[in-house]
């Protein structure tokens, strides 16, 4: 099943901006993203969630709302306890998710989950496992001083052929 999502990032704006409800009205899904190492960012979501509900008061469709704890790569610096997050989800029927935008951990799955919820389909095990796979790349520090590029033989062809 292929789904096309149109995603609007409306973060960075202050709540109460005049255009905000125009983006939110009629949305099929909303991701409320906070930083698990920043308690204030979690607290702010209560107001953002109220705005989402208010903006859609007169809409026929209510968006699937997901609470997304970002920066799970910084688990050791977490200040928002997981049970606080879960309670907020349970009380408001939100789809609970944790991601790391930095490592990519569960980011794909996050969008897949919301899309599946909107469509009312279940993700199968393979889909869930596949989107959780992270490829970690190590930076290799090659010696910088390999010497100057040899230039003595200017007759040599400059074409590099890979065989
Ligand atoms: N360690 C870590 N840092 C992250 C992660 N996601 C974002 N950051 C860092 O957090 C800072 C803020 O990221 P932004 O993407 O600007 O956050 P934002 O909420 O979109 O910002 P606004 O749209 O301006 O509200 C940047 O320094 C990012 O590099 C993450 O998953 N892990």
Query: 80 with 36: CB under 8 angstroms?
Result: yes
The owner of tokens 């909107």 is 118
Query: Collapsing DSSP states into helix, strand and coil, what is residue 96?
Result: strand
Q: Render pLDDT for 102-114 as a digit per residue (tens, 0 to 9).
A: 999 999 999 999 9
Q: How confident is the model at residue 33 (pLDDT cuts 50, 70, 90)?
A: very high
Q: At what angle do helices 125-132 and 107-119 cross, to 10 degrees?
A: 150
CA distance linking residue 110 with residue 3, whole number of Å = 14
Q: What is the pLDDT of residues 81-91, one digit of tens each?
A: 999 999 999 99
Task: Read off the pLDDT of each residue in 111-128 and give the average, rounded to a whole number.
Answer: 92
Tokens coding 139: 């930076």
Is the pLDDT score of 137 beyond 90?
Answer: no
Please report which confidence band the pLDDT of residue 160 belongs to, taking 50, 70 and 90 as the band edges: low
Residue 100 alpha carbon, nearest atom of ligand 1: 31
Distance between Cα 111 and ligand 1 center (Å): 18
User: What integer pLDDT is reported at residue 98 of this predicted model?
Assistant: 97
Gap from CA of 122 to ligand 1 centroid (Å): 30
pLDDT of 61 above 70? yes
Of ligand 1's listed atoms, the one at least distance from the Cα of 33 is: 19
- Going from the Cα of 134 to the center of ligand 1, the distance in angstroms, rounded, reads 19
Residue of 12, 48, 108 to test ligand 1 pocket, by largest number of atoms within 8 Å of CB? 12
> What residue ranges line ligand 1, CB within 6 angstroms?
11-12, 70-71, 73-74, 100-102
Q: Can you give the pTM of this predicted structure?
A: 0.82
Region of poorest pLDDT, from 11-15, 22-26, 116-120:
11-15
Predicted ipTM > 0.90: yes
C-alpha to C-alpha distance for 82 and 80, rounded to whole angstroms? 6
Q: Using an 8 Å Cβ cutoff, are 30 and 56 in contact? A: no
């Amino acid at each position: 099943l292929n789904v096309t999502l149109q995603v609007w990032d409306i973060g960075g704006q202050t709540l109460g901006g005049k255009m905000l409800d125009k983006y939110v009205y009629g949305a099929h899904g909303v991701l409320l993203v906070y930083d698990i190492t920043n308690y204030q960012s979690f607290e702010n979501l209560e107001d953002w969630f109220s705005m989402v509900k208010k903006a859609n008061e007169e809409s026929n469709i209510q968006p699937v709302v997901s609470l997304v704890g970002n920066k799970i790569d910084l688990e050791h610096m977490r200040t928002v306890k997981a049970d606080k997050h879960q309670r907020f989800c349970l009380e408001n029927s939100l789809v609970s998710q944790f991601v790391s935008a930095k490592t990519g951990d569960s980011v794909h799955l996050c969008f897949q989950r919301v899309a599946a919820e909107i469509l009312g389909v279940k993700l199968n095990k393979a889909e869930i496992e596949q989107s959780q796979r992270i490829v970690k790349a190590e930076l290799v520090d090659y010696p910088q001083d390999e010497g100057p590029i040899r230039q003595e033989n200017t007759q040599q062809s400059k074409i590099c052929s890979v065989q």
